[in-house]
Amino acid sequence: MAHDSFDIDRPLSAEESETLVAWRRQLHAQPELSLCEFDTQAAVRTALVSMGYQPIAVGGTGLAVSVGTGSGPALLLRADMDALPIQEATGLPFASQRPGAMHACGHDAHTACLLAVARRCKQHETQLPGRLVLAFQPAEENGRGALAMIDAGLLDGRWCGDPTLQVAAALGLHVWSSQGVGTVSAVAGPIMATVDEFKLVVRGRGGHGALPHQAADAVVAAAAVIQALQTIVSRQTDPLLPIVVTVGSIHGGMAFNVIAETVELCGTVRSFDRALADRLPTLLPQVAADAAKAYGATVSANYQRNTIVLNNDPTLADLVATAAGRCNQVLHVDRQMRMMGGEDFAYFAQAVPACFFFVGCGLPNGTSEPHHSPRFVIDEAALPIGAEVMLNSALAWLETAPRSGSA
Ligand SMILES: [Zn+2]
Ligand SMILES: [Zn+2]
Per-residue pLDDT of 226-255, as tens digits, reads 999 999 999 999 999 999 999 999 999 999
**CATH code for position 229:** 3.30.70.360
Nearest bound ligand to the CA of residue 141:
1
Provide the 3-class DSSP secondary structure of residue 245: strand
Q: Considering 254, 282, 307, which residue would you say is the last residue of a domain?
A: 307
At residue 367, the pLDDT reads: 87
Q: Is the pLDDT of residue 379 over 60?
A: yes
Q: Considering 277, 307, 337, which residue would you say is the last residue of a domain?
A: 307
Task: Please tell me the distance between residue 231's alpha carbon and the centre of ligand 2 in angstroms.
Answer: 29
Distances in Å between the Cα of 316 and the Cα atoms of 156, 291, 361 are 20, 45, 22
Q: Which of 109, 115, 110, 116 is nearest to 12 (CA)?
A: 116
At 285, give phi and psi (nearest 5°): -60, -35
- The string of pLDDT tens digits covering residues 260-307 is 999 999 999 999 999 999 999 999 999 999 999 999 999 999 999 999
Task: Please tell me the distance between residue 349's alpha carbon and the centre of ligand 1 in angstroms.
Answer: 18
Quick one: 167 and 199 in the same domain? no
Spatial distance between the Cα atoms of 402 and 407, rounded to a whole number of angstroms: 14
Quick one: 69 and 178 in the same domain? yes
Q: For residue 256, is it within any domain?
A: yes
The total domain count for the chain is 2
Task: Please tell me the distance between residue 129's alpha carbon and the centre of ligand 1 in angstroms.
Answer: 34
Q: For residue 2, is it within any domain?
A: no
Quick one: 313 and 299 in the same domain? no
In eight-state DSSP terms, residue 368 is P
- The string of pLDDT tens digits covering residues 148-203 is 999 999 999 999 999 999 999 999 999 999 999 999 999 999 999 999 999 999 99
Q: Considering 264, 292, 307, which residue would you say is the last residue of a domain?
A: 307
Quick one: 139 and 214 in the same domain? no
Domain that holds residue 92: 14-192+309-400
Per-residue pLDDT, averaged over 49-56, amounts to 98
Nearest bound ligand to the CA of residue 111:
2
Task: Please tell me the distance between residue 188's alpha carbon and the centre of ligand 1 in angstroms.
Answer: 21
Q: For residue 407, is it within any domain?
A: no
Q: For residue 162, is it within any domain?
A: yes
Task: Please tell me the distance between residue 266's alpha carbon and the centre of ligand 2 in angstroms.
Answer: 22
Q: Which of 272, 274, 286, 224 is nearest to 244 (CA)?
A: 272
Task: Please tell me the distance between residue 78's alpha carbon and the centre of ligand 2 in angstroms.
Answer: 12
Task: Please tell me the distance between residue 140's alpha carbon and the centre of ligand 1 in angstroms.
Answer: 8
Quick one: 224 and 121 in the same domain? no
Spatial distance between the Cα atoms of 227 and 235, rounded to a whole number of angstroms: 12
